[in-house]
C-alpha cells in the first residue's frame, strides 16, 4: 500500500469512528433567518427595490450550526447554550430535536433575546438569489450570572462524558473566556481537549488545545496584513501558537484552502478541496471546527483532523445558505480524492 492510499484508509477509518465519539459544545446559539422576495418594482418613496415576499426559513447558525454539523457527521453532540423565550429560540430547539440532539443543556430565558441574523435575498423566478441586506437582532445584555452558572455546571457535567469540548464564541456571552476558565478550574476537564472558534478575542482564552481562526481574524490579532506572503503566514501562525500555548492551529484561507500548524511539525499548506468557485461561505467556519473537533475526538492526529476539516469546508461552501456536511458526503470526498498538500 502506497503512502497516499494508506492516508486515505486512515481518514476513512476516522470518519467511520465518528458515531463512537461524543463532543460537548459550549456556544452562542444563533438563528439564521433567510427571507426571499422576487423583485417587483422600484419604490416611489425612495430609490429602493420592492420585493414580493416568497419564502422564509430559519436554520441554526453560529454555535448552533456547529452543533448541527457534528450531529450530521454522526457524532454524539451535547449542546450547552442559551436561547430566548421567543420564536427563534423555539425554532432552534425544534431543529435540535429533529436531529435527535439532547436539549437539556440549552437554557431558555425570558430576559434574553435569541440572536437572530436576518438575510434578505432578492432575485427573479429563474435567477440566483442575491443577499441585499442583513439585519442582526441581538440581546441587550449577555446571560445573567444565574444563567452563566447553569452553563458552567452543564458544560462540566457533559465534558466529563465527552472526548472533546468545542467552544464557539460569537461574542454574545455564552462562551466567554471567564466561563471557560470556570469550567476548567481545579482540573475539572480532566485533560479533555478544548477546540476554539472565537470571532474577536481569541488571545483572551487560556487552556485551549486547538483553534481554527480564518485569515482576517489572524490579521486582526497580529495587526498586519498577510496577503500571499507564506513567510508572514507562518510567522503569524507560530506567534499565535506560542502566545496561546496551543497544540495545533488551523488558519482557514477561503479559496486558498487552509494551513495546519502542529507543535513539533512543519506547517502544512492544504489546497481547497473541490472547486475554488465558492457559492456561499455562510457558516463555513462552523463546519470546519465541527469536523476538526469530531476527528480529534475520534482519535485523529492534528494533521489528519485538518485534512478532514478541509474536505468538509470545500463541500459546504458549494451549498447556499447556512449548511452542514453529512458523514456520507465526507466519506465520498475522501474516497474520491487523496489528501493533498502544497510544498514551499
Quick one: which H or E segment has residue 227?
none
Per-residue pLDDT band for 191 (boundaries 50, 70, 90) equals confident
Q: Rounded distance, CA 164 to CA 297, Å?
A: 6
Report the pLDDT value the prediction gives residue 4, as an integer from 0 to 100: 67
The model carries a pTM of: 0.93
Q: Report CA-CA distances (Å) from 138 to 117, 199, 269.
A: 8, 16, 37
DSSP assignment string, 314-339: HHHTTSSSS----HHHHHHHHHHS--
- Please give the average per-residue pLDDT across 138-148, as a whole number: 93
Q: Residues 149-174: pLDDT tens digits?
A: 999 999 999 999 999 999 999 999 99
The neighbour count for residue 208, using CB atoms within 10 Å, is 22
Domain 3-31+60-116+138-336 class, CATH top level: alpha beta
Q: Residues 278-331: pLDDT tens digits?
A: 656 667 889 999 999 999 999 999 999 999 999 999 898 877 777 889 999 999
| Active site (annotated) includes residue 286 | yes
Q: 344 or 167: which carries more pLDDT confidence? A: 167
Q: Report CA-CA distances (Å) from 53 to 38, 69, 260.
A: 7, 29, 44
Residue ranges covered by each domain of the chain = 3-31+60-116+138-336
Mean model confidence pLDDT for the chain: 92
Res 277 pLDDT > 80: no
**Residue in 28, 72, 197, 286 annotated catalytic:** 286
Report the pLDDT value the prediction gives residue 276, as an integer from 0 to 100: 63
Report the pLDDT value the prediction gives residue 2, as an integer from 0 to 100: 62
Q: Is the dihedral of CA 181, 184, 187, 191 positive or negative?
A: negative
Between 284-297 and 302-316, two packed helices, what is the crossing angle to 10 degrees? Answer: 150
Q: Rounded distance, CA 250 to CA 289, Å?
A: 9
Q: Residues 100-120: pLDDT tens digits?
A: 999 999 999 998 999 999 999
Amino acid at each position: 500500500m502506497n503512502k497516499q492510499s494508506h492516508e486515505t484508509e486512515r481518514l476513512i477509518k476516522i470518519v467511520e469512528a465518528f458515531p463512537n465519539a461524543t463532543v460537548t459544545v459550549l456556544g452562542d446559539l444563533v438563528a439564521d433567518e433567510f427571507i426571499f422576495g422576487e423583485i417587483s418594482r422600484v419604490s416611489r418613496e425612495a430609490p429602493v427595490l420592492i420585493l414580493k415576499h416568497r419564502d422564509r426559513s430559519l436554520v441554526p447558525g453560529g454555535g448552533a450550526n456547529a452543533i448541527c454539523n457534528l450531529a450530521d457527521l454522526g457524532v454524539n453532540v451535547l449542546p450547552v447554550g442559551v436561547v430566548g423565550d421567543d420564536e427563534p429560540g423555539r425554532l432552534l430547539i425544534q431543529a435540535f430535536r429533529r436531529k435527535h440532539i439532547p436539549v437539556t443543556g440549552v437554557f431558555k430565558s425570558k430576559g434574553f433575546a435569541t440572536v437572530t441574523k436576518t438575510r434578505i435575498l432578492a432575485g427573479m423566478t429563474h435567477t440566483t438569489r442575491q443577499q441585499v441586506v442583513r439585519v442582526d437582532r441581538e440581546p441587550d445584555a449577555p446571560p445573567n450570572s444565574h444563567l452563566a452558572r447553569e452553563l458552567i455546571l452543564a458544560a462540566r457535567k457533559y465534558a466529563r462524558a465527552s472526548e472533546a469540548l468545542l467552544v464557539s464564541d460569537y461574542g454574545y456571552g455564552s462562551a466567554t473566556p471567564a466561563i471557560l476558565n470556570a469550567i476548567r478550574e481545579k482540573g475539572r476537564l480532566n485533560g479533555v481537549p478544548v477546540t476554539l472558534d472565537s470571532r474577536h478575542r481569541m488571545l483572551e482564552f487560556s487552556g485551549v488545545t486547538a483553534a481554527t481562526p480564518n485569515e482576517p481574524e489572524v490579521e486582526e490579532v497580529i495587526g498586519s496584513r498577510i496577503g500571499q506572503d507564506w513567510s508572514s503566514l507562518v510567522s503569524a501562525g507560530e506567534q499565535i501558537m506560542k502566545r496561546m500555548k496551543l497544540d495545533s492551529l488551523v488558519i482557514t484561507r477561503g479559496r486558498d484552502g487552509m494551513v495546519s500548524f502542529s507543535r513539533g511539525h512543519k506547517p502544512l499548506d492544504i489546497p481547497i478541496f473541490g472547486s475554488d468557485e465558492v457559492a456561499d461561505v455562510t457558516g463555513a467556519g462552523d463546519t470546519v471546527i465541527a469536523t476538526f473537533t469530531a476527528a480529534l475526538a475520534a482519535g485523529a492526529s492534528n494533521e489528519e483532523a485538518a485534512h478532514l476539516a478541509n474536505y468538509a469546508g470545500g463541500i459546504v461552501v458549494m451549498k447556499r445558505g447556512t449548511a452542514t456536511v453529512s458523514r456520507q458526503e465526507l466519506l465520498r470526498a475522501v474516497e474520491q480524492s487523496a489528501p493533498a498538500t502544497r510544498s514551499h
